[in-house]
Amino acid sequence: MTMNTQQNHICPECAGRTEQQNITHEHMHGDTIYLVQNVPAWVCVQCGERYLEANVIAALENIVQQATPVKKIETSVYDFAHTDS
Ligand SMILES: [Zn+2]
């Protein structure tokens, strides 16, 4: 994830065009994953890389610490290197 305050910037990964989309952002804090829906992000149309602006990242921090979640879901965690099969 890269901070960028420019509008209509190009993708630093592949130099592709980015467009603004509302995404579901995964915010990891310690052992907890927070999902925040409808986060405005710049998404590269070529490689799919997502970029959040600095003010959006700051708002996300506030949301996961203070806001009331709209719902809770269970998440299964797997380890690729330690499977039974
Ligand atoms: Zn790209």
Whole-number Å distance, alpha carbon 51 to ligand 1 midpoint, is: 10
Question: Helix, strand, or coil here: 77?
Answer: coil
The Å distance, Cα 17 to ligand 1 centre, comes to 7
Q: Is residue 8 over pLDDT 70? A: no
Residue with tokens 């999902």: 35
* Euclidean distance between CA atoms 66 and 69, whole angstroms: 9
> 1-85: which CATH architecture?
Roll (3.10)
pLDDT of 84 reads 73
Q: Indicate the domain borders of the chain.
A: 1-85
Question: What percentage of the chain carries pLDDT values higher than 90?
Answer: 73
- Ligand 1 centroid distance, CA of 85 (Å): 36
Q: How far is the CA of 20 from the centre of ligand 1 (A)?
A: 13
Does this model's pTM top 0.85?
Answer: no
pLDDT of 2 over the 90 cut: no
What gap in Å lies between CA 34 and CA 6, rounded to an integer? 26
